[in-house]
Structure 1
């Protein structure tokens, strides 16, 4: 692109940013325009209004879109394939049932929630919840016919993993925009996931489950329907789910040893292991292993497996494209200098970057509903301030996860997840607001508090 210097001041630029965000909300909420089309249109208009030369606009849009998808699309696609293989093989069911057996009937909701945490690593929120619901409903019918007592902890578990842990699209996109180390983001995300879920999911879910006793909806037939006759063992399922984590941790460990001077980063064996431990390759290896262990070894032929894997990609295409378009919008904002102007304005009022990132994500989440759009947009706005600051690797990870925490705050009627949870569990809007909306707010605030501690430590 040709060299170009922004001549507008901070005030006009911030006004344009506010107008662009407002336009997104009006188009998505008021006119029900698809988020993908909305983000492209507003990105284009913002580029014109901020004065980016016409000859550079298309290149800016494409480069920002492609730059986001380059790191995001592989992870989302491979993660969806891995999750589909676990679901299709019956691994989700055997894992959930084993957890109930281990923890007993009195703590069955804890076992189901813990199983959902494990399942939530490769499986997206909505897909994971649908996979677990037949098991949740069966357990709830057997132990008192109270759906919220068993459903809320599980739904919260999938939410926590979806918001804070790669390879889910939000944290992956924010990691890329902030330039954070994905291995450290993954490690910290997994460490904080359990306490966040325990308080905002298990304890809160137990409280509302006893306060609002709702019968199990008649959405599913017998839980034995459409289940394979030869599901994998629990150990096999857990091993398949742990494989990508171990490979990615290998990469993080090698980076640490290289920095510490213990190994030579230029050595061929180190570089090969680093490639194997990169997130896309780690997930690719895991999908290939899952295809063999959960598919071919159980007697499924290649054509059937191809159809199973292919069916996993359709549902995530929208997520991938919207994430890329959100990155495009963020790229236009950065190119126009809006991000720098926002960072300067926040610096002038003394608001720490980590606090500003959280607040911006909260506002966007409440306004337009999509956690992914809120996270990607907030990260795009704050990335210049993070890049300009002298932050350690752990502090950048804390800012990344703080932005993620903001993006989940207060799910309500403009969020598809709000309707998904409410309708699947047979709740009316008022009850969903009292239970699920509050859970999402608790998850957000607690997550932000934990990231603040990590930021201060780092």
Structure 2
């Protein structure tokens, strides 16, 4: 029944948005209340559950999205995004520009959270699409696919790192083997599938998109833009800070070193929210003060970027509300009961449990952590199983079928100006391909490892 109720709730949401054209945020909240009632959450607790889900989601990404949007606007308005875009176009050429996007996204996505990497890269992707006069969807899908893979498969992302610890898998080995699996998975989901969808549904790439979140993009002559080096350094400064934090933390743990002021400072500046704030302050100097742009003009531009984010943040928060309702409504516990005492291949079991939890609950991180707790007792019965591959199978399953209860679904939809049908046909399928391809490569490696 919990799974049936969840499916009906998703269907109702689609009807409200697509058939009756109801505001997306309002539809999400209405469906959240109805799901909570039918899943048996006490009426007096429903409002608190929805508030917790909405606040918890926005608490995680609100600061990152807000400052990240201002950072992206500063780099774009100064011409930094234009300089990076033109350089990538000249280096790779129009025919291989998707490979440029995938390469940049992979490098940025290894360290940064999905949301942080997305808001940093999207202005550059948009500039490239304008320069080449091609759809932002054509470039945005490879970026989204790459970020999904790196976020789900590779440490130091929280899901992969935490699950590796629970299973007892070596994090460094997970990173190496995960990269081996991630590369062909990205090619299939991020390069080959968008090409296929371009042939099956060409209108997706031909449709003119209104992207209010990115604001008005002004034309800047190349000679008036910042240098490529300083533009890339400013855009990737959060990556550098978080990479330093991850590396130092790993060294501290491996060497068994005690805590001190140095490690505390590194952890502080490596935190996603702190890193994005420091990067914003750097951009104020490199993209503004250094170029004699008045502070007031920069802040006016930053303010307009925040105004464009209002409804998007509410929509993402609404997705978080549905996710919390499903968690508190016991959908995850119901799925756990289904697999109690199962004797199937541990790799397939871990993938299947994570996939079902992801579809039901929406959060890939919640799905991976919940799967680890459910699968761990079963692993004791199969001592010869490769724990690194179990970790990666869990990460692959946590990508499955992104839809309306996943914040990333709404981020991709809104930033790329797609409707619900287009987002299901593109990002939902890409996430499913990522999950299935990841499992296939895990099973292939299991033959040799």
TM-score (norm 2): 0.69
**Cα shift at 1:331:** 1.6
**1:452 shift after superposition:** 6.4
Shift of residue 292, structure 1, vs aligned partner: 1.1
Partner of 1:319 in structure 2?
A: 312
- Counterpart CA distance in 1 for 2:238 and 2:268 is 13
Match of 2:76 in 1: 87
Which of residues 18, 32, 35 in structure 2 aligns to 1:46?
Answer: 35
Q: CA RMSD in A?
A: 4.9
Change over 3 Å in CA distance of 1:161–1:310 after alignment to 2: farther
May I ask how many residue pairs the two structures share in their alignment? 402
Asked if the contact 2:105–2:146 (Cα under 8 Å) also holds between the matched residues in 1, the reply is no
Q: Is the 8 A contact 1:36 1:325 kept in 2?
A: yes
* Aligned-partner Cα distance in 2 for 1:19–1:213: 31
Say if 2:158 is the partner of 1:158.
no
CA-CA distance at 1:263 after TM superposition: 2.2
Within the alignment, does 1:304 sit opposite 2:297 as a pair?
A: yes
1:93, distance to aligned residue in structure 2 (A): 1.8
Q: Any idea what SS the aligned residue of 2:132 has? A: helix
- What does residue 251 of structure 2 align with? 257
Partner residue, 1:404: 399
SS of match in other structure, 1:352: helix
Picking from 321, 324, 333, the partner of 1:331 is: 324
Specify the alignment match of 2:112 in structure 1: none
From the superposition, tell whether residues 314 and 190 of structure 1 become closer, same or farther in structure 2 (CA, over 3 Å): farther
Contact 1:232 1:294 (8 Å CA) reproduced: yes
Distance 1:452 1:256, change over 3 A: farther
Going from structure 1 to structure 2, the CA distance change for 1:393 and 1:345 (only over 3 Å counts) comes to same
2:238 and 2:276 in contact (8 A); partners too: yes
Taking a change above 3 Å as real, the CA distance of residues 394 and 245 of structure 1, as seen in their structure-2 partners, is farther
Of 10, 15, 21 in structure 2, the residue corresponding to residue 32 of structure 1 is 21
2:159·2:368 contact (CA, 8 Å) conserved in 1? no
Q: Partner of 1:273 in structure 2? A: 266
Q: Distance in 2 between matches of 1:67 and 1:43?
A: 15
Structure 1 pair 176–312 and aligned structure 2 pair: CA distance change class (3 A):
farther
Match of 1:294 in 2: 287
The alpha-carbon deviation at position 278 of structure 1 amounts to 0.7
Q: Taking structure 1 as reference, are residues 199 and 31 closer, same or farther at Cα in structure 2, changes over 3 Å only?
A: same
Q: Are the counterparts in 2 of residues 51 and 336 from structure 1 also a CA contact under 8 Å?
A: yes
| Structure 2: stretches of 5+ with no match in the other structure | 110-116, 165-170, 211-216, 380-386
* Aligned mate of 1:449, from 418, 434, 437: 437
**Following TM superposition, by how much is the alpha carbon of 1:92 offset from its aligned partner in structure 2, in angstroms?**
1.8
Contact between 1:152 and 1:201, CA under 8 Å: does it hold in 2? no
Q: 1-side partners of 2:55 and 2:269: how far apart?
A: 23
| Contact 1:180/1:397 (8 A) holds in 2 | no
Contact kept in structure 2, 1:401 and 1:451, CA below 8 Å: yes
Partner of 1:368: none
Instruction: Provide the rounded CA distance (Å) in 1 between the counterparts of 2:32 and 2:368.
Output: 17
**What residue in structure 1 maps to residue 89 of structure 2?**
100
Identify which of structures 1 and 2 has the higher relative contact order when contacts are C-alpha pairs closer than 8 Å and 6+ apart.
2
Cα distance 1:320–1:176, how it changes in 2: closer, same or farther (>3 A)?
A: farther
Aligned pairs (5 A) from 1:131-170: 131-137=127-133, 154-161=139-146, 163-164=148-149
Q: What is the CA distance between 1:281 and its match in structure 2?
A: 0.5
Moved more, 31-40 or 103-112: 103-112
The Cα of 1:315 is off from its aligned counterpart by 3.2
Measure the CA separation in 2 of the matches of 1:130 and 1:310: 20
Structure 1 counterpart of 2:58, from 47, 59, 69: 69
Task: Name 2:214's counterpart in structure 1.
Answer: none
CA distance in 1, matches of 2:49, 2:427: 39
- Separation in 1 of the partners of 2:428 and 2:8? 27
Q: Are 2:2 and 1:13 aligned?
A: yes
Counterpart-to-counterpart distance in 2, 1:207 and 1:22: 27
Query: Is 2:400–2:432's contact at 8 Å kept on the other side of the alignment?
Result: yes
Among 225, 232, 237, the alignment partner of 1:231 is 225
The 1-side partners of 2:10 and 2:331 are apart by 12
Q: State the alpha-carbon separation in 2 of the partners of residues 408 and 309 from structure 1.
A: 31
